[in-house]
Structure 1
């Protein structure tokens, strides 16, 4: 059992996923410490987090492929590598929110809700496709949302993993190594 755990943790995809998670965790803590929590909800931070996770998928998958040394690296294996990298990156990156919301600063939950409502007003104020009643209902839902609890942390993980694995499907396609046709690899050719 211990050997299996060691083997699992020695995979490049696990290492790169953990590393990406640490980077995202540290980025969130730095944003909190600089007292610019609203930056956490800007598109630039979302893109940065995505690029960190994407690089973890690519480097982890390439590392796993290299560890196989000559074996065929099929789509299923590449997809598993991407999943491991995404899972650990999202696990640690989301854990930063849980730590900040519940252990470091409990007032951060209300700040976050205020930021989300403000962004919603700015975004929907420019487009008039939602009635005022629907908008008020949405604001009530945001205010009533449970943030910072262990349950909200755990229940949010599957959605984040699945959203990132959408791109993992494409990354795995490029990482795989197709099997060579038997007639190309045999040494029975007339030239050989």
Structure 2
């Protein structure tokens, strides 16, 4: 994918907020996603850990978004919110396969695959490298408001008004094609 085709990150349209630190045992910033995070090769949500968020944080939300998907609106791979403020780490796999390690009360909405879980990278063959933006939001209330039946856009709307801070880690993946 050429540089001029790269689209803005979703939070570039939101008001500026402070940042904090998010790291992953599975994603090297700017590096290639592991096969586990690829839809056809493992489909496992990555490990994420965060720190340095505002003291007023009451919950967290986690999203994964591909701004480079050839849809005109990007592609939501994971939308999770109402993670208790006491939780500062999600193990690999928390976004699916029994949701092991997912905290009680956390809410998944449908991703663009139509499922309520993590859906791994799956760029079209030959479309170039896509960015997968894993964002953790520090939220100013325990419950963001929507339920599991809303779209990722509704969650994003609520996060625009309730994010105290956010941080992200970006991995890339390319499907070279036939």
Specify if TM > 0.5: no
Instruction: Give 1 or 2: higher strand fraction.
Output: 2
Give TM-score scaled by structure 1 length.
0.26
Instruction: Give 1 or 2: higher helix fraction.
Output: 1
